[in-house]
Structure 1
Amino acid sequence: MFAVRSFATKGFLLNSKVAGAGFIHTTTNMSGAKVAVVLSGCGVYDGTEIHEASAVLVHLSRGGAEVQMFAPDVAQMHVIDHSKGQPSEESRNVLAESARIARGNVLDAAKLTAGDHDAVIFPGGFGAAKNLSTFAVDGKDCKVNAEVERVLKDFHKAGKPIGLCCISPVLAAKVLPGVEVTVGHEEEEGGKWPYAGTAGAIKALGATHCIKDVTESHVDVKNKVVTSPAFMCETKVHLIFDGIGAMVKDVLKLTGK
């Protein structure tokens, strides 16, 4: 039933092929910013992109941040057998699957408040478009998970930075009117940017799309929203790692810590 789904925008084909204990070690010096990281499961096709989550955590650790991970306590849209690229006849919980990445130290997103943190970061992965929102099937007409929407609005209202990478910038585009974000380039360029059509959906949501290369981040100074393309680009992993690092560095800079 879910063998092939479209993100409802040209260029972002789900391949949906469309499906996360221990404690995460961030840093021994917890004197920096307190940053919340919101996960969407575990696995690129139905949850958080694991390399992106790892990159976010490594760069936050280097920046001296104190990290707490969160995820909504909801069922996944569906579960993908990543070895076959096909849906599996089972159900999984986003919070429980996110615990795989968080080494068990993950809290319900309902407990996440802007008052307790200096910034929030959303790694990408298809889970952002399936579990944190319905963008995978509804495109610009998507709905955002109620807790995710609340978190985005609360941090924005508090003037605290929000970081997003890969497909997750669509969450900000939907929830924060007039925000500036990037998902990379706006043309596929021979397959280098296979999801370039997402830029059009972002514009349709009323947001501004800014073209950036994979190693770059875009800072919307007014809204304190920082975004980076990550795996929206088909390229070497270390370049994606560097781009996420640029995003994390800019988020931490905006905290003033």
Structure 2
Amino acid sequence: MSTIGVILAGCGNIDGAEIHESVLTLLYLAQAGAKTRIYAPDVSFEAVNFLTKKPMGERRGVLVEAARIARSNIKDVATAKGADLDALILPGGNGVAKNLCDFAARGAGGSAHPEVARLIREVHDAGRPVGAICIAPVVLALVLGAKKPRLTIGNDMGTAQAIEKTGAVHVNCPVDDIVVDERLNLVTTPAYMLGPGIADVAKGIEKFVVEIVRRAG
């Protein structure tokens, strides 16, 4: 049975992890018989009101919010060790670009959260698969850009151009498909970067999870 790490960026597509993407990922991993270990960074963020889509004037913890999706079965990513994982997955959501890295503010000039970057490198350097969904490939681009990874966020030209400034190579991809970098053992899928709904993104995420599990052995 493979052990696959999942890093969440909070809870909710506007300021955290995209809930549909996260739950679908965990569902398909469970159906594949994989064991999961869920992590999030222990940092704070400015919470958004999901009705008005405006800041609420309060800060919350990424780890605490992500625990809602994980049903409390979650740990600080600082405690994670790449040697304990057969693969690593990053679901999407705007929180990825804000809480797992600073791509939202700095674009290609940004950097990933140090513990998130460390875990990605540990899993990647061990030759194990790393996957990213929706906007999360920007984190892989920031961490592994010098290796020129092939990845996708769908077909958004602005985001694709920013990604390619890191050294990564963007590949256009429909919502129901995946992009595999055979050389670097990376798998990505667009999900809600394209949408339009849960049934659509589910097709790509299922294919994505199947590929990650197959590569994890």
- Does structure 1 residue 112 correspond to structure 2 residue 80? yes
Write the mapping of 1:166-245 to structure 2, written as runs, cut at 5 A. Answer: 166-176=134-144, 177=146, 178-185=148-155, 195-245=156-206
Superposition TM-score, scaled by structure 1 size = 0.82
Instruction: Name 2:70's counterpart in structure 1.
Output: 102
Amino acid in structure 2 at the alignment position of 1:38? I
Count of aligned pairs between the two proteins = 215
- Does structure 1 residue 36 correspond to structure 2 residue 5? yes
User: What SS does the aligned partner of 2:60 have?
Assistant: coil
Amino acid in structure 2 at the alignment position of 1:127? G
Structure 1, residues 114-168: CA drift from partner, whole Å, max 9, x if none? 1111011000001100000111111111121000110111111000110100000
| Separation in 2, partners of 1:55, 1:214 | 14
Amino acid in structure 1 at the alignment position of 2:186? V
Give identity over the alignment, percent.
40
Instruction: Name 2:128's counterpart in structure 1.
Output: 160
Instruction: Name 1:247's counterpart in structure 2.
Output: 208
Instruction: Name 1:123's counterpart in structure 2.
Output: 91
User: What SS does the aligned partner of 1:240 have?
Assistant: helix
Quote the offset at 1:111 in angstroms.
1.2
Instruction: Name 1:4's counterpart in structure 2.
Output: none
CA RMSD of aligned residues (A): 0.9
Amino acid in structure 2 at the alignment position of 1:215? D
| Separation in 2, partners of 1:71, 1:45 | 16
- Return 5+ residue gaps in structure 1 as ranges: 1-31, 186-194
Quote the offset at 1:113 in angstroms.
1.1
Instruction: Name 1:67's counterpart in structure 2.
Output: 36
Which of the pair is proportionally richer in helix?
Answer: 2
Match of residue 147, structure 1, among 111, 115, 119:
115
User: What SS does the aligned partner of 1:120 have?
Assistant: strand
Larger C-alpha radius of gyration, 1 or 2? 1
Q: 2:195·2:201 contact (CA, 8 Å) conserved in 1? A: no
| Separation in 1, partners of 2:96, 2:143 | 14
Q: 2:4·2:36 contact (CA, 8 Å) conserved in 1? A: yes
Instruction: Name 1:56's counterpart in structure 2.
Output: 25
Structure 1, residues 73-120: CA drift from partner, whole Å, max 9, x if none? 1112x1100011100111101100110000001001011111111011
Superposition TM-score, scaled by structure 2 size = 0.97
Amino acid in structure 1 at the alignment position of 2:29? L
Instruction: Name 1:29's counterpart in structure 2.
Output: none
- Return 5+ residue gaps in structure 2 as ranges: none
Flag as ranges the 4+ runs of structure 1 deviating above 6 A. Answer: none
